[in-house]
Amino acid sequence: MAPSINPNQPRKFISYTRVSTTEQGSSGLGLAAQWASIQKFGIDHKWFCVGRFEEVASGADNNRPQLMQAIQAAKFLGAVLVVSKVDRVSRRLSYVASLIDSAEVELIAVDLGVSCSSFELNLMALIAERERQMISIRTREALAVLKARGVKLGTPNPEKFAAAGRASIQTKTDAFHLSVRPAFEEIMNIGCVYTLSGIADCLNSRGIKTRRGGVWFASSVSNAFKRFEALGQPLAR
């Protein structure tokens, strides 16, 4: 059971941020956005940060030296461990559940708030893990469909590397959009999301990333709708 927290009581906290690719880590993309949300959380609750830890690692990789150091620092300082979203800890349910149950620190995901129970944290981790599995499956299925249509994958001819490279990127882009389309359709079927920004918020809350591993904005959602239409699978808005 998650420890009870008084939202009005000033607390010390440790910040942990993670991105999944070297490019994001080296450029600061993703890390800066996560830190901004955690920093705002601290200001809003009048809590103060006593340590920051950053990591570049896949959400499926449990080898996280920076996360372990963040937990140890939180224990030593009597601080709360704060992440922007629960999938920043891991996308594997078993790992998140083990961390929550065994660690002697309080874990808070900014998007869920200070009153979130351990059950809710586990549920969000389960959703993130399920989305990761489904996107992987849908990507493989989409690539198989494109291959069946005669689309050549890869770049076997060195002399046409540039053109083939562009074609390969386009193929992967198409496959990605086909893989996330069911999530768009499900969100729209809820019947309460009518804006591009609202759909982007829903996608982000589910831990679904853009093709480049970033967060969704109204513009990227709009581009996705255009891509669905170009692929002959439009979604009515």
Residues 91 and 157 in one domain: no
How high does pLDDT run on average in the chain?
75
- When mean pLDDT is compared over 21-30, 96-105, 110-119, 219-228, the highest value belongs to 219-228
Q: For the ranges 5-9, 66-70, 178-182, which has the lowest average pLDDT?
A: 5-9
Residues 138 and 52 in one domain: no
Last residue of a domain, one of 116, 141, 176: 116
**Residue 235 included in any domain:** no
Q: Residue 53 pLDDT > 90, yes or no? A: yes
Residues 89 and 17 in one domain: yes
- Cα separation of 237 and 39, whole Å? 35
Q: Is 226 exposed, middle or buried (0-12, 13-18, 19+ CB in 10 A)?
A: exposed
Of 197 and 140, the one with more pLDDT? 197
CA distances (Å), origin 104, targets 57, 91, 96, 98, 123 = 24, 21, 14, 11, 20
Write down the pLDDT at residue 137: 75
Among 125, 133, 130, smallest CA distance to 107 is for: 125
- What tokens appear for 188 in the block? 């729209």
Residues 225 and 149 in one domain: yes
- When mean pLDDT is compared over 53-57, 86-90, 176-180, the highest value belongs to 53-57
Write down the pLDDT at residue 164: 45
Q: What are phi and psi of 208, to 5 degrees?
A: -85, 130
Q: Name the pTM for this structure.
A: 0.50
85 three-state secondary structure: coil
Last residue of a domain, one of 116, 139, 162: 116
Among 105, 54, 63, smallest CA distance to 84 is for: 54
Write down the pLDDT at residue 2: 41
Residue range of the domain that includes 185: 131-230
Residues 30 and 100 in one domain: yes
**Residue 164 included in any domain:** yes
pLDDT band of 38, cuts 50, 70, 90: very high
Total of domains in the chain: 2
**Residue 7 included in any domain:** no
pLDDT in tens, 100-153: 666 677 888 888 777 665 556 666 666 666 666 677 677 777 777 777 776 665
Residues 161 and 192 in one domain: yes
SS (H, E, C) 157-222: CHHHHHHHHHHHHHHHHHHHHHHHHHHHHHHHHCCCCCCHHHHHHHHHHCCCCCCCCCCCCHHHHH
